[in-house]
Amino acid sequence: MPRIEKDAPGQTVITTFEMTPGTAQDLMDELRAAYDGFISRQPGFMGAGLHMNDAQTRIANYSIWARRDDFQAMLRSDEMREYNRRFAALCSRFEPVMYEVMATYEGGQE
């Protein structure tokens, strides 16, 4: 996964998903399938991470793209629109939001 750095080139996207514990693993499986079969192969994709909370009611997806346009092109594709329909069927809501890294901090340094 790429390092999170202020002023690094690229577009950061954080997507949050809300669901019931009963569908959390199904949604995680769909997200993994989307990354394995499609998203990670798209132009400009630099890396991503999937995170699930302990209660299995939220998933957070952090991804980095070379350019904002790369992410938007992937999002508009027929393949991604189909994946998004599957995601929507498994959660109450999800929202991808583009962010700019404003500051970073590392631990373990004295």
Share of the chain above pLDDT 90, in %: 81
Quickly state the pLDDT bin for 110 (edges 50, 70, 90): low
Residue 94 placed within a domain: yes
Quickly state the pLDDT bin for 108 (edges 50, 70, 90): confident
The overall pTM is greater than 0.85: yes
Model confidence at 5: pLDDT above 90: no
Q: What is the pLDDT of residue 3?
A: 72
Residue 18 placed within a domain: yes
Residue 107 placed within a domain: no
Task: Find the mean pLDDT for residues 40-60.
Answer: 97
Share of the chain above pLDDT 70, in %: 96
**E strand residue ranges, 6-77:** 11-18, 45-52, 58-65
Residue 2 placed within a domain: no
Give 76's contacts (C-beta < 8 A, 6+ positions apart).
Answer: none
- Read off φ and ψ for residue 66, nearest 5 degrees: -60, -40
Q: What is the CATH number of the domain that holds 18?
A: 3.30.70.100
Residue 43 placed within a domain: yes
Q: How far is CA 105 from the centre of its chain?
A: 21
Average pLDDT over all residues of the chain:
93
Domain that includes residue 47, residue range: 11-99
Residue 35 placed within a domain: yes
Residue 28 placed within a domain: yes
Residue 73 placed within a domain: yes
> Which 8-state DSSP code applies to residue 71?
H
Q: How many domains does the chain contain in total?
A: 1
Task: Find the mean pLDDT for residues 1-30.
Answer: 89
Q: What is the pLDDT of residue 7?
A: 80
Q: How far is CA 22 from the centre of its chain?
A: 21
Model confidence at 73: pLDDT above 80: yes
Which phi-psi region, left, alpha or beta, contains residue 14 (left: φ > 0; alpha: ψ -120 to 50)?
beta
